Amino acid sequence: MRHAPLLVALTLAAARAQAGDPGPLPTTFTNMTPDAESTPASRACVADLAARLAGAYTEVRKLGETPLREKAGMTAGQPFLSWPVEALDKVRRQPEARDGAVALVLVDCRPQARRLDVRVLPKAGGSFRIQSRGVPLKSRTLDWVFTGLLHHLHDGHEP
């Protein structure tokens, strides 16, 4: 069970290799944890998810929260889960990228409060969110979150 996300990622990578590889999925990744809630544990949690992404055939490009907000035109304080997709589309659309877009992954992880919010915009459009409340943010929880994240992350990046 613990290896399920890895197996999914490897299966995905193998299928791509066979079918004419478009290369790793360019993915913009932003740590949305508020500064006041940032702790070594929260940074480790965010780094864990970024590392899992990097192992799932993506090319992770980190973007700070401030430049993300500027690009999306969203003011500080407004929760990112409530940002309209149209605002984040300004970040997702990147003319220089293959197909003119990248995937976005935004993470707010607060292990001390047992709280995790993830917002994902696949390159092809749409959006999904994954939230965890009250559950210890240990490896098993991050396994669950990451498996959910893979359900649609690569949409629009098939060969």
Partner 1 sequence: MKTCLAPILATAVCALTGAAHAADAPALHMAVLSTGEPLPSEAKALTRVEQALARPGKGRRFTVTRGPATADEQRLAAAYLGPVPPASPPPLPGDWSGRAAVLVLELRPPTSAGDARLSGGLGAVLVFHPPAPEPTLVYVPDGLPGVSLSRAWSEAVGPWLVQALALTPEAP
The site for partner 1 (CB under 8 A) is made up of 1, 4, 7-8, 11, 81-82, 84-85, 112-114, 122, 125-136, 140-141, 143-144, 147-148, 150-152, 155
CA distance 151 to 8: 9
Shortest distance (Å) from residue 24 CB to partner 1: 20
Nearer Cβ to partner 1, position 62 or 85? 85
Q: Do 63 and 28 meet the contact criterion of CB atoms below 8 Å apart?
A: yes
Q: Is 115 helix (H, G, I), strand (E, B) or coil?
A: strand
Question: Residue 95's CB: how many other CB atoms inside 10 A?
Answer: 6
Nearer Cβ to partner 1, position 94 or 132? 132
Shortest distance (Å) from residue 119 CB to partner 1: 10
Q: Do 123 and 157 meet the contact criterion of CB atoms below 8 Å apart?
A: yes
Nearer Cβ to partner 1, position 8 or 97? 8
Shortest distance (Å) from residue 79 CB to partner 1: 8
Q: Do 111 and 49 meet the contact criterion of CB atoms below 8 Å apart?
A: no
